[in-house]
Structure formats: C-alpha cells, structure tokens
C-alpha cells in the first residue's frame, strides 16, 4: 500500500470516526432522559445482540484470513474466508433487522420516544455502514471467484479490510454503551 493510499484511508476513517463520535455523544447526552421511559435501553436484549456481535467480530477474523490467503496466493482459502466473512456479516445484519421488527412490534420506533430516535439512528447508521462493507466484500468475492484478486491486486481488499475492522470497533463501542452500560 502506498503512502498516498494509507493517508487517504486514514483521513476517510478519521472522518467516519468523527461522524460516529457525534452520534454516540448525542446518544450519551440524552441518556438521562431514557431511563424514565417505558421504551428504554432496558427493552433491548443484550444476550441476543451479543450473539450477533460475536458473528460480526468473527467476520473480522475471517476477513483477516482472507487477506492473508490473498497475500500468499492461496485462492481456495481466499474464497472460503471471503464467503465466510460475507455470511457472518449477513448474520449480523439479519439479527439487527430481526431486533428492529421485535422492537417495532412493542411500539418502540424511531418516532415513539427520544430513546427510539437515538437507538434507531445510531444502530441504523452503523447498519448502513455494515451493508456498504458487505457490498464491497461481495465485489471482492466476485473478483476472487473470477481469479482477479491476486497478491498484486490486493490493495482494494486491504482497504475493505481496514474499513471492516473500523466498523467492528465502532460496533463494540455502540454495543457496550447501548446494550451493556444500562445494566451496570
């Protein structure tokens, strides 16, 4: 990866960190208002969301393995690990969508309360980032299946990997603050 590529990716991730930082700070600023609401963070299921979190974290490992396989020209491993990454990312997103349907069924929506607005905005924006990452991973998988993702052309996968790890770290912060912190 060239210095120009590294700088570009660093600046992009820095801007994303600032964006998520503002969303997280907004969530925390209004947090005292949530505790008296019927639909508060305590309506969330940290165990189930924890399982989906494990899938997302596991996808970081599988993507790292895909990158290593690519670097070493191991096309079979590259394809398997990329497919596993896509599957795990899809499991996470599917879990998030399922959670949304459960909350909506309980009348916890983006417009039902301050908590609903903050929760759906924060997790929804993150989910859109995961979806974008999944699209990039599907493209990488298509390139791998076509034999076009070689060690000499791995820069794109490296960029996607950095983005994916960033999105995972952001989720760990969100999961800790939204799902775990209210129960401490």
Establish if 132 belongs to a structural domain: yes
Establish if 37 belongs to a structural domain: no
Instruction: Kindly state the percentage of the chain with pLDDT values over 70.
Output: 97
Establish if 78 belongs to a structural domain: yes
Mean pLDDT, all residues of the chain: 94
Instruction: Say what the pLDDT of residue 31 is.
Output: 85
Establish if 34 belongs to a structural domain: no
Q: What is the pTM of this model?
A: 0.94
pLDDT tier at 165 (50, 70, 90 boundaries)?
Answer: very high
- Spatial separation of the C-alpha atoms in residues 76 and 21, rounded to whole Å: 39
- Rounded mean pLDDT, 100-115: 93
- Digit-coded pLDDT (tens) for 38-86: 667 888 999 999 999 999 999 999 999 999 999 999 999 999 999 999 9
Is pLDDT at 35 greater than 90 in this prediction?
no
Is pLDDT at 33 greater than 70 in this prediction?
yes
Q: CATH number of the domain at 117, please.
A: 1.20.120.80
Specify the number of domains making up the chain.
1
Establish if 27 belongs to a structural domain: no
Establish if 95 belongs to a structural domain: yes
- Rounded mean pLDDT, 108-119: 92
Establish if 22 belongs to a structural domain: no
Domain span at 116: 47-183
Instruction: Say what the pLDDT of residue 42 is.
Output: 83
Establish if 6 belongs to a structural domain: no
- Digit-coded pLDDT (tens) for 130-158: 999 999 999 999 999 999 999 999 999 99
């Amino acid at each position: 990866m060239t210095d120009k590529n590294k700088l570009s990716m660093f600046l992009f991730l820095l801007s994303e960190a600032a964006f998520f930082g503002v969303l997280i700070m907004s969530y925390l600023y209004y947090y005292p208002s949530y505790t008296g609401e019927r639909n508060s963070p305590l309506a969330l299921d940290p165990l189930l969301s924890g399982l989906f979190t494990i899938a997302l974290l596991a996808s970081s490992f599988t993507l790292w393995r895909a990158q290593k396989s690519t670097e070493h020209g191991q096309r079979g491993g590259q394809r398997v690990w990329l497919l596993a990454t896509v599957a795990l990312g899809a499991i996470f997103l599917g879990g998030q969508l399922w959670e949304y349907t459960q909350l909506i069924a309980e009348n916890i929506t983006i417009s039902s309360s301050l908590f609903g607005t903050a929760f759906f905005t924060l997790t929804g924006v993150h989910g859109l980032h995961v979806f974008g990452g999944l699209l990039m991973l599907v493209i990488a998988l298509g390139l791998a299946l076509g034999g076009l993702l070689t060690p000499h052309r791995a820069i794109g996968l490296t960029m996607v990997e950095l983005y994916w790890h960033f999105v995972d770290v952001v989720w760990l912060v969100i999961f800790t603050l939204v799902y775990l912190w209210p129960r401490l």
